[in-house]
Amino acid sequence: MISAKALDDLGWPTLVDHWARRCATTRGAASVRASQLLPTIEEAQLRAAEITEARGLASRDLRLPLGSISDIAAAIERVRKAAALDAPDLVAVATTGRSMARVRTHLREHAEHAPRLAARAEQMADLGHVYHPILEGFDADGKLVDHASDALGPLRRALAGIKNQLEKRMGTLLVDERFAPYLQDA
């Protein structure tokens, strides 16, 4: 184990800070800030080779497609405790799953340039069965669409009908002379 003073003398905290600021996600930055030096030279060499592959992809204009990845750790933890997720969390989980699939596909397609990263990608679970139904159930604004459930469309139409009836009834009552003395303009 290297002492904190030795790490400080080597400028390790500054290096970690620069490294964390280059991460594509906040979770990645937190992981970098929490990490220690790799315990063996072999692990360090493997990590360096993976970084070289990622940089090689970027130099070929084949940068890893890391967009739309959210930190969903808190949402996943709530699900593990049997809690339901609200719409923004569901959409974040689904878009992150879709983004993971894009990364996996990208690395498979470019395995000749990044074999180590492609091997890591093979370990990533295919979550299409999770994210496709979620994304199909929400529109671009994160609103649940009527076809998300067989019952939802008819329920929304019934609600709109009831709301319309209430508005008509209120309009009738507002002009009824029996109630005029009790009503005033605001």
**Which has more pLDDT, 155 or 75?**
75
Contacting residues for 147 by C-beta, under 8 A, at least 6 apart: 153
- pLDDT value of residue 113: 97
Helix (H, G, I), strand (E, B), or coil: what is residue 185? coil
- Please check whether residue 29 lies inside any domain of the structure: yes
- Does residue 52 share a domain with residue 136? yes
- Does residue 167 share a domain with residue 94? no
Residues 71 and 23 sit within 8 Å (Cβ to Cβ): no
Which whole number is the average pLDDT over 139-161? 83
Tens digits of residue pLDDT in 87-131:
899 999 999 999 999 999 999 999 999 999 999 999 999 999 999
* Containing structural domain, residue 183: 149-186
Tens digits of residue pLDDT in 4-58:
899 899 999 999 999 999 987 788 899 999 988 888 999 999 999 999 999 999 9
pLDDT tops 90 at residue 3: no
Of 120, 81, 84, 114, the C-alpha closest to 100 is 120
- pLDDT value of residue 186: 52
- Does residue 77 share a domain with residue 13? no
Using the Cα atoms of residue 39, residue 44, residue 50 and residue 55 in order, give the sign of their dihedral: positive
